[in-house]
Amino acid sequence: MKIKIILTVFLVLSFNPLFSVTGDEALSKFRARMNGIEKMTGVISWTTSSGVSYTGNFKYLNPGRIHIKFSNPAGRTVVSNGRTLWVYSPASNIVGVQELSRDGSGGITSFTNGYMALLTDQGPGGYIVKLKNESRHYQEVTLMLDSSFFLKKAVLKSKDGFTYTFTLSNISTTATVLPGTFNFEVPANAQRVNNPLNIQ
């Protein structure tokens, strides 16, 4: 009888481990998955704990090129060619221009560097990885990943408790994305603000 119980426990642990990967392993697989994507289109949405929300259609081309056309707030555009980031608001006619790191790094995978990773949940639907670093502005970051370690949702929590919740949906990695999409020309009559302290 004891042998049967031991064998049953062994089989349960073997085929249904509590966590088959560690937090660091899950984070590494997440980075590899996201960095391995050549191109992508979809919808990005984010909300803040103060109730502000944004939604837009995005196009992405590796490395570091992104174009977001917002439907909420309508008309706003965010474009990056991997070296420069432009944020344009037709309502204010202001273009914020931010020079990016020369090494081409950036995005969510680079953002996660320097955090301690803890895998808090795992199942058929995917993984939840909680990142912590008390010295960062965003002390806590929660990544919700699908079974292939692709990002579905991220929650960023700052030192003062303020949160940003980002969600990706309607994802396609086969849609056509043209390199020229990421060439942004600042409108001639727009006010240009270089390297603003808070580009939103």
Per-residue pLDDT tens over the stretch 25-72: 999 999 999 989 999 999 999 999 999 999 999 999 988 899 999 998
User: What pLDDT does residue 133 have?
Assistant: 94
- Asked if residue 140 lies in contact with residue 131, where contact means CB atoms within 8 angstroms, the answer is yes
Highest mean pLDDT: which of 10-14, 96-100, 175-179, 185-189? 175-179
pLDDT given for residue 38 in this prediction: 94
Contact 39, 62 (CB under 8 A): yes
Tell me the two tokens of residue 68.
């977001």
What range does the domain containing 63 cover? 21-194
Query: 159 lies in a domain?
Result: yes
pLDDT surpasses 90 at 173:
yes
Does residue 200 fall inside a structural domain? no
Higher pLDDT pick, 152 / 195: 152
Q: Is residue 5 part of a domain?
A: no
Evaluate whether residue 155 is within a structural domain: yes
Q: What is the pLDDT of residue 113?
A: 87
- The residues, ordered by sequence, that sit 6+ positions from 153 with a Cβ below 8 Å of its Cβ are 143, 144, 165, 166, 167, 168
Q: Mean pLDDT score of the chain, rounded to an integer? A: 84
Bridge partners (DSSP) of residue 57 are: 43, 69
Query: Average pLDDT, stretch 157-169?
Result: 93
Give backbone dihedrals phi and psi of 148, rounded to 5 degrees, phi first. -100, 10
Write down the pLDDT at residue 11.
Answer: 38
12 or 123, which is more confident: 123
In angstroms, rounded to a whole number, what is the distance separating the alpha carbons of residues 83 and 131?
27
Q: For position 198, what pLDDT does the model report?
A: 53
Q: Other C-beta atoms within 10 Å of 86: how many?
A: 20
Range with the poorest average pLDDT among 3-7, 96-100, 193-197? 3-7
Residue 76 lies in a domain: yes
The answer to whether residue 199 is domain-embedded is no
Contacts (Cβ under 8 Å, ≥6 apart) of 185: none
Asked if residue 148 belongs to a domain, the reply is yes
In the prediction, which pLDDT does 124 show? Answer: 85
User: Quick check: is 4 in a domain?
Assistant: no
With a cut of 80, say whether residue 17 has pLDDT above it.
no
Q: How far apart are CA 168 and CA 145, in angstroms?
A: 11
- The secondary structure of residue 178, as a DSSP letter, is -
What pLDDT was estimated at residue 106? 56
DSSP letter string over 75-111? EEEEEEESSEEEEEETTTTEEEEEEPPTT---HHHHH
pTM reported for the whole predicted model: 0.78
Nearest to 143 by CA among 133, 128, 158: 128
CATH number, domain of 42, equals: 2.50.20.10
Domain count, the chain: 1
Tell me if residue 114 falls in helix, strand or coil. Answer: coil
